[in-house]
Structure 1
C-alpha cells in the first residue's frame, strides 16, 4: 500500500453547487473507510476530493494517489450523457450506434487478464459487442466496476457500489473486494448502513448546513465531516447506527389537485393484461411468452437479475418499448395498437426509474419538478396554479425540502433528485404507480421515508403499486403478489 492521505482544514469548492468546509481527515494505508450521512451532506463530494476533484480554497491536502479507481453514480451518468450526445451530432447521414462494451472495458486497461475474469464473473461476456448505452442500469454499473477494479488502483473509491446489482453480482463483488484488503486501501460511500462490509475499519459521517459568506444561515450548501468513528469503538458505532436508522412517523400524503383529477376507470377491468408477451432482439429472446394480469388494488413486486427484462416489461406497459405494438397488451381499458395515444396511457401511470433521472436534465425548480408530474412532462411549459404550488409545497415539506422550493433541480444531490422524482410520480395519485428501484441512491432516513410513503399508498384504495427492487429488506407491507423474471441463457 502507498502513503497516508491527509486533509488539514481543507475547504473544497465544487463550482457554485457545493462546498466542503474545513475537513480534517487522514487515511492510513491499512485503513478502509465508509463515508455515510444524509442526502446532500457531501458524501460523494468528499470521495471526489480523494480522486483529485474540486478546487481547494483553503487548507491543505497531501498524499493523494495518482491512480484512483472510481465508481460513482455521477461518473456513470456522465458516461451515459457522453453516449447520448452522439445522438445529437449534426450528421444527418450517420447513425450513431454508440461505443461497444468491449471498447469501454479494454481500451487503456491496465490488467486485461483481470478484466477478462471479471467480465466472465459478472456475466457480461455475451454483451461485449453491444453498445454501452443499450445496457440495463445494473449492467452499466458492472462495466464501471470492471474498469475500476482492473485499473491497478492505488486507491479504490466506490460510491454506492452495491446499488442496482442483482444478488449473484453483489455476492461476487463483495468476495472480490475481500481479496483486496491487504493490497489496496478502499473508501466506500454507502447510504445503507447495513451494507457496510466487514473489512471497513473506520466510518466518516457527513452532515450539511447552509451558510453564507458571513457564516450565517444563507443559500450556499456546505458539507462538514462531523464524526470520525473507529469501528472498534462499539458505543460510538452503535450511536451512529441508531442515528442513521431514524424513521419518520405520522406521514400524511398531500391531496390531489381537483383540477387535475384523472378520468374514472372501469373497476371491473384489469389495469394491465399481458398475453404471451415476448421481447427479443434479433435471435436473442429476453422475455418469452409472459402472461401477467394486474388488477386494481393488487400490489406487485417485480424482481429478477440484471438483464432479465424487468425494465423491458415495464416499457411494454408504459408504451415506451418499440415491441409493445407487436404484443397482445391491454392497459386501462385500451387494447394496444387500436388508436390510443401514448398520453392516454401515461396519464394513468406514475413512474420513477434511474433512466428517467438521467433524462430529467432540464433546469427547473424543485417545486416545478413535482408539478410536472401532473402533466407527465420533463420540465414545466405553463405556469403552475396556486393550488398546484400549494400541493407541491406540501410534498416538499413532507420530504424535508421546504426551504428548497425554488432551488434548481440539477444542482441537487443524486438522492435528493430521486426523492423529488418520487414525489413527482405520486402527486397525481395515479391508478398505477411504477417504482423501478425507487430507493437507489438514498440514505437510510430518506429510504425509510420513501418506504413509509409507498406503504401508505398500498394501504389506500386509489393506487396500485408495481415495485421493482433487489433488496429483500426493502419489501413493502401490503405487497402480496410477486413476479420473478429469469434471465435467459
Structure 2
C-alpha cells in the first residue's frame, strides 16, 4: 500500500441489514490497526468496506489498494455457499465432489512456496485432496488464511483470525504476521484486547455503526481508557459478591423498595414536584430524567431522608413508613449513592483499593482494618474495572473518569438493594462517559441491586434499564 486510505463522511449500507454512519478514518501505509467493539457494533462492516463490500450511500473511500486480502466469517460463508451450488443437479449431469483443497489454495496464490510452508504449519498436508466443502469450519478458516497470506496483498484484513486456533497454531500465525510488518499494512478485527499482537500501532473502537474512537496505541492514557471500556463491555466477569460477614438485613420481597404517594415538594407558593406517584419494585431499574429545576434532586432527597419535607409526605422505603420512628441510618444502609458532590468531597489521599474498601464502612477514607474477604472483594472489583495494576495508586492522582468508576464500585461493594447514580456522567468526556455507562450496564446485569439512574437527557439510555420517569419543570 503506497498511499493512505481515507474514508471521508462515509455512510455504507449492507443489504439493509446494517449501516455504517458518518465514518471518518485514515490508514497510513506504515500503520497496523485493530478494529474492536462489542457484538453488533460494526467492526466487521468497517473492515469489509476496505475490501469493497457494501453500498456507499454518502461520502468517499479514497486510495483503496488493488489487491486486498480478506479473511472473515462472511467471506468464508460466501465461499462455502459457492461450493454448495455445484451440487445443483438441475444444471449438472454428475454429482460434484467439490473443489479440492489443493486447487483452492495453489490456483489462487502467488507465492506457492509460502503456501506449501503454511499448509504444513497449519496441519493441512493430509487434507489437500479433500473437497473444500467437506472441511470443518476451522479447517476452511485455515485455507482462507493461507490464500490471503500467500497472495501478496497490498492490504491484509483479518476478521477474528485467531478464533478456533490451538495455542501452537495461534503463536505460529502471530509470528508470521509479525514478519509482515515492514511490507504489508494490516487491519485485524478483534473482540479481545489480550489477543492484540505487539506490532499493532493503532486501535479503532466501533459503537452502534460509528467510529467512536481512533487512537494511537503509543498514547498510554488513551489506550488505558479504551482498554477499560472494552474490558467492561465484553468481560465475562460477574459483579463481585458481598461480604457475608457484614451482610445487610434481608428485605421482604413482597414490599417495594420505594413508594411515593402524591408526593409534593413546595417552597412557599412555589410547587417543585406536584402529587407524584412512583413505585420502585425490587429488581426494577429506573431512569429519572428532567431539566434543571424539575425536582430530580428533591425527589432523591425524599427517598434518602435528606429532605425536610420527607416527613410531611406519604413515603414508604425498605419496609419503613416515613415518620414512624425509623432512623436515617436504618434507611441509608440500603442505599448506595454516587454523585458529583460526593466526588468533590472524596479528597483524601488513599489508594484505589482503599476507596473501594471504604464502602464497607460508609466512610470517606479508610479508618478501620479490612478483613481478608473484603480485600479479596475489593481486588475483584478492581479486576472488573480493568484497574488491577493501579490498586495502590493514589485516588486523587487518577483521572476524573477513573475516580467516578471507583466511587460506583465503592457504593456497590455492599450490594445495596438500591443504587442511586445522580448525574454520574456529569463532567466526563466521551470515553469516560462510555466507561461509566458500561459499568452501570454491568451492574444491571447482576440483578442483585436495583439501579436508579438520574440524568438530564431521556435519550441517554442504558441497556438493562427499562423503566423511565420524566419530570417537567413547573412554570
Question: Which of residues 234, 237, 249 is equivalent to 2:234?
Answer: 249
Q: Work out whether 1:277 is the aligned partner of 2:263.
A: yes
**Structure 1 position 341 matched with structure 2 position 327:** yes
Aligned-partner Cα distance in 1 for 2:285–2:387: 29
Structure 1 residues 289 and 472: alpha-carbon distance in aligned structure 2, compared to 1, 3 A threshold: closer
Q: Could you report, residue by residue, the CA deviation over 1:357-388 in whole angstroms, capped at 9, with x for unpaired residues?
A: 12223332221211121222222221111211
RMSD value over aligned CA atoms?
A: 3.1
Give me the whole-angstrom Cα distance separating, in 1, the residues matched to 2:229 and 2:412.
24
Cα contact 1:368–1:384 (8 A) shared by 2: no
Note the alpha carbon deviations across 1:197-243, whole angstroms, 9 max, x for none: xxxxxx9989765xxxxxxxxxxxxx79x9xxxxxxxxxxxxxxx99
| Unmatched segments (≥5 aa) in structure 1 | 1-191, 195-202, 210-222, 227-241
Is 1:411 matched with 2:435? no
Q: Distance in 2 between matches of 1:488 and 1:437?
A: 21
**Given the alignment of the two structures, is residue 317 of structure 1 paired with residue 291 of structure 2, yes or no?**
no
- Cα shift readout 1:467-487 (whole Å, capped 9, x = no counterpart): 112345541222221110111
Name 1:267's counterpart in structure 2.
Answer: 253
Alpha-carbon spacing, 1:389–1:245, altered in 2? closer, same or farther (3 Å): closer
User: Which of 365, 378, 401 lines up with 2:364 in the alignment?
Assistant: 378
Contact kept, 8 Å, 1:273 with 1:330, in 2: the verdict is yes
Q: CA deviation at 1:305?
A: 0.4
Cα deviation, residue 421, structure 1:
0.6
1:37-186 correspondence runs (5 A): none
Higher-Rg structure is 2
Question: Quick one: which of 258, 266, 274 aligns to 2:244?
Answer: 258
- Verify: 1:297 aligned to 2:301, yes or no: no
Q: Conserved in 2, the CA contact under 8 Å of 1:286 and 1:487?
A: yes
3-state SS, counterpart of residue 473 of structure 2:
coil
The 3 A distance-change label for structure 1 pair 207 and 288 is farther
In structure 2, stretches of 5+ residues that fail to align are 1-204, 208-213
Pick closer, same or farther for the CA change 1:205–1:316 going to 2, 3 Å.
Answer: farther
Whole-angstrom CA distance in 2 between matches of 1:475 and 1:484: 13
Deviation at 1:407, TM superposition (A): 2.5
Work out the CA distance in 1 between the residues paired with 2:377 and 2:391.
Answer: 12
- 3-state SS of paired residue (2:234): coil
Shift in Å at residue 255 of structure 1? 1.5
CA displacement at 1:458 relative to structure 2: 2.4
TM-score (ref. length: structure 2): 0.50
1:463 matched to 2:427? The reply is no
C-alpha deviation, 1:446, in angstroms: 4.3
> What is the aligned residue count?
262
Cα deviation code 1:255-284 (max 9, x no counterpart): 211112211100001100111212223332
Aligned counterpart, 1:287: 273
State how far apart, in whole Å, the 1-side matches of 2:288 and 2:234 are: 27
**Change beyond 3 A, Cα 1:245–1:463:** closer
Q: What is aligned with 2:407?
A: 421
Q: What is the TM-score normalised by the length of structure 1?
A: 0.49
Q: 1:250 to 1:400 in 2, by over 3 A?
A: closer
Task: Say if 2:293 is the partner of 1:307.
Answer: yes
- Work out whether residues 228 and 435 of structure 2, in 8 Å CA contact, stay in contact via their aligned partners in 1: no
**TM superposition shift of 1:324:** 1.5
Tell me: CA distance 1:243–1:370, structure 2 relative to 1, closer, same or farther (3 Å): closer
CA distance in 1 between partners of 2:218 and 2:373 (Å): 34
